[in-house]
């Protein structure tokens, strides 16, 4: 068989697998908060800056509205956000945190450290982490449209 088609030579397969396993690792931490991972990153974006348009959120999270809208609908149903139509421009939808959505930040604050411990095992040198992040950022940069 072609050497380049072997699974062990595939960077992308590792990326795909690592991403899935990380999302699985989030599950037990997010479930008590009633969140999925995509819902969690929507909240991360909103905790940084409340009252964002669907399009702004989409740019920040690199998700299109066909993915984002259903997530936002569930989050609204669960009382974490509200969506307000047409303030200046009637086409836009503004996404805002409810009191519940705001309060969840406090309960989420230890999740990042916990997850880092899980995937890192033994703490790694910062330089190595920085190299990893740099590679991911460069990949994302090369792939985004």
Partner DNA sequence: TAACAATATATCGTGTACGACATAATCCGT
Partner DNA sequence: ACGGATTATGTCGTACACGATATATTGTTA
| Interface residues toward its own copies, by CB under 8 A | 1-2, 4-7, 9-26, 37, 41, 44-45, 47-48, 60-62, 105, 108-109, 112-113, 115-116, 118-121, 128-129, 131-133, 135-144
Output the furthest CA–CA distance in the chain (Å, rounded).
Answer: 60
Which of its own copies, DNA, none interacts with 83 (beta carbon under 5 to 8 A by kind)?
DNA
Burial class of residue 27 (count of CB atoms within 10 Å of its CB; 0-12, 13-18, 19+): exposed
Which of DNA, its own copies, none interacts with 11 (beta carbon under 5 to 8 A by kind)?
its own copies
Which of its own copies, DNA, none interacts with 79 (beta carbon under 5 to 8 A by kind)?
none
Binding mask 91-130 for DNA (x = CB under 7 A): xxx-------------------------------------
- Cβ atoms of 24 and 118 closer than 8 Å: no
H-type alpha helices, the chain: 11-30, 37-48, 54-61, 65-77, 99-108, 111-120, 126-143
């Amino acid at each position: 068989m072609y050497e380049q088609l072997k699974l062990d030579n595939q960077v992308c397969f590792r990326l795909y697998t690592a991403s899935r396993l990380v999302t699985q690792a989030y599950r037990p931490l997010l479930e008590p908060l009633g969140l999925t991972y995509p819902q969690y990153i929507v909240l991360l974006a909103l905790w940084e800056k409340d009252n964002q348009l669907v399009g702004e959120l989409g740019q920040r999270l690199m998700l299109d509205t066909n993915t984002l809208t259903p997530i936002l609908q569930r989050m609204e149903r669960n009382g974490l956000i509200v969506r307000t139509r047409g303030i200046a421009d009637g086409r836009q939808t503004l996404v805002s945190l409810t009191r519940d959505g705001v309060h969840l930040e406090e309960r989420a604050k230890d999740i990042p450290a916990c997850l880092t411990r899980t995937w890192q095992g033994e703490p790694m040198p910062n330089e190595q982490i920085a190299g990893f992040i740099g590679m991911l950022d460069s990949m994302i940069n090369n792939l985004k449209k």
